[in-house]
Amino acid sequence: MSAITRAEVAHLARLARLALAEDELDHYAQQLDVILQSVARVCEVAADDIPPTSHPMPLVNVFRPDEVAPSLTQEQALAAAPAVEDGRFRVPRILDEE
C-alpha cells in the first residue's frame, strides 16, 4: 500500500502552486512513496548509540587569531583618496535617501 495518496499529492501540488495532470498525480505518488520508504529505512538504521550530527565531517575553525599589528594612520590611508570628507572616504551617493 502506498504511503502517499493521489489526494495528498494534489494537495502538495496546490501548496507548491504546481498544475499537475491526472496521470502525473499517480506518477508523483509512486515517486514520493519510494522517497518516504527510503527515509523510513534510514530511520530504522539510526541507532541510539550514534550521536546526532549536523555535518558528516568535523568542522574546524580555519581563521587565524586576531593579532594587533602596525597599520596605516588615518592620514596615510586617506592620502591617495580622490575625495575625503570629515576624515572619511567620500563616495558618490547611490540612493536618493537622506
On whether residue 15 sits in a domain, the answer given is yes
The three three-digit cell numbers of residue 33, written as one number: 512513496
Nearest-CA neighbor of 36 among 10, 9, 13?
9
> Which position has the higher pLDDT, 98 or 11?
11
- Domain containing 17 equals 6-45
On whether residue 51 sits in a domain, the answer given is no
Per-residue pLDDT tens over the stretch 13-42: 999 999 999 999 999 999 999 999 998 888
Residue 10 has pLDDT above 60, yes or no: yes
Please give the full DSSP string across the chain, using - where no structure is assigned.
--SS-HHHHHHHHHHTT----HHHHHHHHHHHHHHHHHHHHHHHH--TTSPP-SSSS-----PPPP-------HHHHHTT-S-EETTEE-----SS--
**Do the beta carbons of residue 39 and residue 29 sit within 8 Å?**
no
Residue 98 has pLDDT above 80, yes or no: no
Quick one: pLDDT at residue 1? Answer: 54
Task: Give the phi and the psi of residue 75 in degrees, each rounded to 5.
Answer: -65, -40
On whether residue 31 sits in a domain, the answer given is yes
On whether residue 25 sits in a domain, the answer given is yes
CATH of the domain at 17: 1.10.20
On whether residue 50 sits in a domain, the answer given is no
Number of domains in the chain: 1
On whether residue 19 sits in a domain, the answer given is yes
On whether residue 28 sits in a domain, the answer given is yes
On whether residue 71 sits in a domain, the answer given is no
